[in-house]
A and B are shown apart, each in its own frame.
Chain A
Amino acid sequence: GQNKVFRQLVGVVGLEIHAQINSSTKLFSGAPVRFSAPPNSLVSFFDASLPGTLPVLNKRCVEAAVMTGLALNCAINRKSLFDRKHYFYADLPAGYQITQQRLPIAVDGVLTYSLLGGKKRNQVMRKNVTIKQIQLEQDSGKSLHDDVRSQTLIDLNRAGVGLMELVMEPDMSCGEEAAAAVRELQLILQALGTCQGNMSEGQLRVDANVSVHRPGEPLGVRTEVKNINSIRYLARAIDYEIQRQIDVLQRGGTVQNETRAYDSKSGETLPMRDKEGLQDYRFMPEPNLPPLILYEDNASLPTGIDACQVVVVQKIKEGLPELPSVKRDRLVQTYGILPEHSFTLVNEDGLVDYFEAVLKTTKKEPRKVIGWVTNELLGHLKQEDMSVCQSPISPSALAELLELQETGHISSSVAKQVFQKMWRSPGKTALQITQEQDLGLVSDTAQLHSICQKVVDSHPDEVHAIRSGNKKVLNKLMGLVQKETKGRADPVLVRAILQKKTS
């Protein structure tokens, strides 16, 4: 009847993120941490699980976890514990992973992220996602399957590298939100220096937990989606999975609780070979590591304790660098730019520095510079899949171009043309291009007068229309003048002259 409100199935998304800690050595051993080294060249006796070796906790990894926890507004547990999680796999030499299952180092945080929404995608919408916990744990090695020779090759370089596992509660509803949340996390981790956050290098690994339901009803069965190597794929994988589950339910089927892998080529999620079945990890406390105790401040340190042997939360709090959200607000305050501009600036590696470098060498107002940076520059970079540091136009070169426009040497539309020419001929300055191609604004009043007179004389109907009150027609005449001058006429002057001549 009338009371039945048809409600849409909506997505519910949680994330399980593994962030590789940016430290020089591993979590429990002194073997170095490096990307892309010869196989099995960064393996200590402990990492290889040689019998009789014991774990020794890396202080830097603890500090990284505390910094990350504080930046995400978590409660830092003054006492946390280590556990063994058992399963057999060739890339796990000890047959167990050391992790923090019972009592992790940080809990109950919040990540605030922003989306650009609205019709013009220029409204900054703030959202929150709850961080359930952050735990320290070991990374596993890598296995490569050689089907030709029926063998598996094991590289233990990564075995034992420190990870922070972050669990984000299912507060998100679609791929875009998840992508934005992960992007913000990436920026935070990079600002802290606790993780380099490169997804393609495996420094940041994201698994998505996806289910669908009707709002108000209990959560649906969830699937875990793995094998996502970029933020873009994350959004696509989640959106695909949400739609797949909706389709299943609408066909009258049921969603299986399973693990699925994202296939970037097809854009689909596919069921993974169920290699483990129902896993019982037989968690057990790690007997070789006493509880990890953190101290609030120097005053609460027990007497006689060596300062280099402890981690003091207050000290870490004081040493936190400027976080992205603070940075965005600061940019808005300092430069008077819009929040969405600030968002774009901070979102792109190196763009803030670029922007500020331009401002140093130009008298132009920040609000007038920002568009060039977020539209022209960023647009070109994106088109050619380049990063800011690869830009063929340096900040000072752009500043020079803006000066030319500001001082009236070139018009706005010419400026844009010059920009493109500078892009294609790196090394050539704006001035050089302007002179070479004779793009300078024509401000010679006598010349302009004669051109305008020519146009006026050859378009009596339009002049008559203007005189009769239709002022808009003036633009047509202006366009004709610009055509004559190949766009180099000073528009302000031309308008003034034409108005006089048609009044």
Chain B
Amino acid sequence: LTGRNLWQMHLLRPGRISPTELCRKCLNRIRKTQHLNAYITVTEERALEQAQQAERRLQRGVPKGPLDGIPFAVKDNFCTENIRTTCASRMLKDYTPPYNATVVQKLLDQGAVLMGKTNMDEFAMGAGSTDGAFGAVKNPWGYAAPYGERTRADPDSDWVVTGGSSGGSAAAVASLTSYLALGSDTGGSTRNPGSLCGVVALKPTYGLLSRHGLIPLVNSMDVPGIMTRSVNDAAIVLGILQGLDVRDSTTVPAPSSLTELPEDFDVKNICVGIPKEYHAPGLSEETLAQWSRVADLFEEAGARVEQVSLPHTQYSIVCYHVLCHAEVASNMARFDGLEYGHRSQMDSSTEVMYASTRHEGFNDVVRGRILSGNYFLLKRNYQHYFVKAQKVRRLITNDFQHVFSSGVDVLLTPTTLTDAARYRDFTQEDNRTRSAQEDVFTQPANMAGLPAVSVPTALSRRGLPIGLQLIAPALQDQTLLSVAQWIEQRVGFPSIVSTQMLSSLDLLQSLSEGFHIISI
């Protein structure tokens, strides 16, 4: 029962709450949680229209599916037709795409209600959601009772980061303004904030979800990420979003139309691998304790739990950086102020216009990556950096393949090194350093194109979420989520409930059904 999400409770029972009422409640909630800065654009009018349409369908008994009328949020690097899409950059601060990203369209076709576009690190470069043109995102858990009580912190000066780069989406789901949110994941950008904000965060297999309309960071690693309040929700959304898209030549057909996850997954038949290289420096003892705890749970339930080795892990982050920067330099070349986006007033020549547009439009993180990326791609450097990194990438992929083909079904690892840092601690190091540190556990899955999910397992001593990661072989997303749900069912992570969202009757009902109430 703890695996059920709230919307199922609301909508399955007739007369519980209507889509328009739910929409209004969420919009109200967005207003109340504005200090979190989770949203760049709130699509209030549109959302109400969509909710009304959903309501009519539900009244007529013809809902489009499980997501009809459900509020969702989208990271601001997904194109939304006629809705501003900024990538949290001055370069696109007034850019309005003329089309919807495929994954956005699919959700809209299901009748889901778009609440708005969420905040992020500029162009998805970062691990804190602190480096965007519209300011940093604040972690809702920093304003919740446990954090305040346990650390005696002042939420306004000791606020904690969401992680990144999809921090706004994680905050939206965690603060109950959306029931699901799309993020993007290139090196951990969905799983990282998912873990720090205590929500389920799925990075599907590369190629399973279309990238058409996702403004790219690294084309060969980007995937649309799914953030939800429960694993089952993530499975539902995956089932809707996966599949071949002719507009994206890197998509593959879904291995099967995803059916419901098994209620009682039997772990006796699986082997869980614990990669020894993931005992990384900086791993907090609490996260380590959670890692052991869940590994023990598997063992006690009869699963085989084995230590395995992914020997090239130590090289992964460096190679990731080389390949990431090279692709960034290439992908950002189109932002010249000519066709769309910011255009500098300095236009004495085309070259001057290009240079000043790009200087004005990009923050220094983006510019730094472009410069180093171009350096790596110079003819004289190409073999030493880019090709070398691709070769090591192959070795990293082989590490995983080797482990998975020797009987291991899933890998269990931490998602992040620690729980969420205070903003003032996080910003002691620059973006590049933080990214290198924080991406340690997450980016190898992007290098290898594998599916991975972060599941919240417990609150830390500071009252902040800790999550663990599962990694599975390519296209085994269903197995991955089945195992993830098994964990979710047993760890008792507190569900976030908003006292504002429920009537007192519901509140009593929730308590009686075993929900821990955290009011935000």
Contacts and interface: CB of A to CB of B under 8 A. Distances in A.
Contacts of B220: 287
A248 interface: no
Contacts of A45: 98-99
A289 B92 CA distance: 26
Interface size, B (range) = 35 or more
Contacts of A86: 330, 333, 377
A54 B340 contact: no
Given A280-B379, A282-B374, A282-B377, A287 B219 contact: yes
B378 A282 contact: yes
A432 interface: no
Interface in A42-89: 45, 48-57, 84, 86, 88
A115 interface: no
B249 A152 contact: no
Nearest to B246: A56
A288 B97 contact: no
A95 B334 CA distance: 5
Interface in A19-59: 45, 48-57
B215 A288 contact: no
B350 A54 contact: no
A56 B211 CA distance: 13
Given A45-B99, A86-B330, A154-B338, A54 B378 contact: no
A283 B247 contact: no
Contacts of B327: 284, 287
Contacts of A152: 350
A94 interface: yes
Contact of A51 (B215, B218, B378, B379): B215
Residue among B97, B214, B329, B334 having the largest count of chain A Cβ atoms under 10 Å: B334
Contacts of A319: none
Nearest to B100: A52
Interface in A326-347: none
Contacts of A93: 334, 338-339
B378 A289 contact: no
Interface in B199-231: 211-216, 218-220
A113 interface: no
B378 A280 contact: yes
Residue among A51, A53, A54, A287 having the largest count of chain B Cβ atoms under 10 Å: A51
B79 interface: yes
Nearest to A279: B379
A288 B330 contact: no
Contacts of B179: none
Interface string B74-104: 0000110000000100001001011101000
Residue among B218, B246, B336 having the largest count of chain A Cβ atoms under 10 Å: B336
Nearest to A43: B339
B326 interface: yes
Interface string A280-317: 11111001111000000000000000000000000000
A141 B296 CA distance: 62
Interface string B322-361: 0000110110011110111000000000110010000000
A96 interface: yes
B334 A49 contact: yes
B216 A52 contact: yes
B117 to A, nearest CB: 13
Interface in A252-297: 280-284, 287-290
Contact of B249 (A54, A95, A154): A54
A394 to B, nearest CB: 50
A223 to B, nearest CB: 22
A90 interface: yes
A50 B216 CA distance: 11
B333 A88 contact: yes
Contact of B386 (A49, A53, A284, A288): A284
B377 A52 contact: no
B106 to A, nearest CB: 15
A279 B327 CA distance: 19
A55 B249 contact: yes
Interface in B121-179: none
B248 interface: yes
A451 to B, nearest CB: 83
B333 A95 contact: yes
A344 B78 CA distance: 60
B86 to A, nearest CB: 11
Contacts of A88: 333, 336, 351, 354
Given A54-B249, A290-B249, A94 B333 contact: yes
B334 A94 contact: yes
B382 interface: yes
A55 B216 CA distance: 13
Contacts of A51: 79, 87, 92, 95, 97, 215-216, 334-335, 340
A195 to B, nearest CB: 25
A90 B350 contact: yes
Contacts of B309: none
Contacts of A290: 249-250
A53 B371 CA distance: 24
Contacts of A57: 249
B247 A56 contact: yes
Contacts of A284: 326-327, 330, 377, 386
Nearest to A286: B219
A94 to B, nearest CB: 5
A56 B249 CA distance: 6
A54 B211 contact: yes
Nearest to A84: B330
Contacts of B334: 49, 51, 93-95
A282 B332 CA distance: 14
A280 B330 CA distance: 13
A51 B76 CA distance: 12
B382 A283 contact: yes
A260 B382 CA distance: 30
B148 to A, nearest CB: 40
Contacts of B248: 54, 288
B464 to A, nearest CB: 34
Contacts of B377: 86, 282-284
A58 to B, nearest CB: 12
A193 B252 CA distance: 34
A289 B248 CA distance: 9
Nearest to A154: B338
Residue among A45, A52, A56, A283 having the largest count of chain B Cβ atoms under 10 Å: A52
B339 A96 contact: no
Contacts of A280: 378-379
Contacts of A54: 211-212, 247-250
Residue among A96, A154, A287 having the largest count of chain B Cβ atoms under 10 Å: A287
A49 B211 contact: no
Given A284-B377, A288-B219, A90 B212 contact: no
A52 B92 CA distance: 13
A199 to B, nearest CB: 28
Interface string A82-119: 00101010100111100000000000000000000000
A49 B333 CA distance: 10
A289 B339 contact: no
Nearest to A53: B212
B394 to A, nearest CB: 14
B104 to A, nearest CB: 10
A326 to B, nearest CB: 37
A-B complex: 6 closest residue pairs judged by Cβ atoms = A95-B333, A282-B377, A287-B219, A287-B220, A51-B215, A49-B334
Given A52-B78, A284-B327, 7 more contacts: A50-B98, A50-B99, A51-B79, A51-B334, A52-B212, A54-B212, A56-B246
Interface of B: 78-79, 87, 92, 95, 97-99, 101, 211-216, 218-220, 246-250, 326-327, 329-330, 333-336, 338-340, 350-351, 354, 374, 377-379, 382, 386
17 contacts: A45-B98, A50-B79, A51-B87, A51-B215, A52-B78, A52-B97, A52-B101, A52-B213, A88-B351, A95-B330, A281-B379, A282-B330, A282-B382, A283-B382, A287-B218, A288-B248, A289-B249
